[in-house]
Amino acid sequence: MSGPTGTGEPAAPATARRPRRDAEANRRRIVRAGREVFGARGLQATLNDVAHHAGLGVGTVYRKFSDKRALAEVVFGEELDEIAAMARDALDRDDAFDALAEFLERALARAAHNRGLRELMRQGVAEGTGLARARREIHSHCERLVEQARDQGGLREGVTAADIARIAVMIDAVMALPAEQPAGQPTEQPSELWRRYLVIILDGLRAHRHQPPLPEPTEARRPRRNHPARSTTKPSTG
């Protein structure tokens, strides 16, 4: 991430004096705390929260990261890079549809435990940051995966990489749900309910005999059409 250093820290002179050992360690502690706090409480956690969680003073945090955005950029940059790696791995699989499905499952499982990451993806990522780079990498891997899956005949006609991103958004929405507990157990562990809907959606994404084309290839054209929610395999006798 050198060259276009857009990470948020004040640039040091080329002939940089080596910083104090403990200062470097603290920086790492802050990033770690950031990951934990943002993960658990979301982006709305304050840098004060992060500082306290790291066992450090607010001042220290603000000296190393000009503001919350700067820290978030580092924290979620790492996170996104790991997800990009998952996508890269998926490219090696034989069955592209399965690869896509498993990638989604792995990436979303990661997101399920990381509220901040989910919020970040929802509100989008500023161009020119390391985040944007990782996001782009993920997207391009997905494009290739989608293409392969379609060539292999496993994927419904008309599905694009953009769809994959939006499916992630949808699944994310059910993760964000209040998580009602029907009866007893006070355990507040993250619900696994989202997997249920991933299965449903993946089944809707598979190639079948006589599927009608999906509406709205990718833009918001043509508000014409009467029953856009009517689709495949009607239970008709035919």
Partner DNA sequence: CCATAAACGGATATCGGGTGTCCGCTTCGT
Partner DNA sequence: ACGAAGCGGACACCCGATATCCGTTTATGG
- By the rule CB under 7 A, 57 interacts with DNA: yes
Tokens read off for 85: 């790696």
- Pick what 157 binds: a copy of itself, DNA, none; C-beta below 5 to 8 Å, kind-dependent: none
The one-letter amino acid at 150: R
Identify whether the C-beta of residue 39 lies closer than 8 Å to the C-beta of residue 113.
yes
Query: Least distance in Å: CB of 31 to DNA?
Result: 13
Query: Least distance in Å: CB of 50 to DNA?
Result: 9
Of positions 69, 113, 122, 136, contacts a copy of itself by CB under 8 A: 122
**Going residue by residue from 189 to 218, which x/- string records binding to a copy of itself, judged by CB under 8 A?**
x-xxx-xxxxxxxxxxxxxx--x--xxx-x
- By the rule CB under 7 A, 55 interacts with DNA: yes
Identify whether the C-beta of residue 56 lies closer than 8 Å to the C-beta of residue 30.
yes
In whole angstroms, give the CA distance from residue 230 to residue 33. 49
- Pick what 164 binds: DNA, a copy of itself, none; C-beta below 5 to 8 Å, kind-dependent: none
DSSP label at residue 189: P
Identify whether the C-beta of residue 198 lies closer than 8 Å to the C-beta of residue 174.
no
- By the rule CB under 8 A, 154 interacts with a copy of itself: yes
Closest to 116 in 3D by CA, of 66, 86, 79: 79
- 161-175 and 194-205 helices, crossing angle to 10°: 160
**Site residues (vs a copy of itself, CB under 8 A):** 95, 97-98, 101-102, 104-105, 122-124, 152-154, 156, 163, 166-167, 169-174, 176-179, 181-182, 189, 191-193, 195-208, 211, 214-216, 218-220, 222-223, 227-235
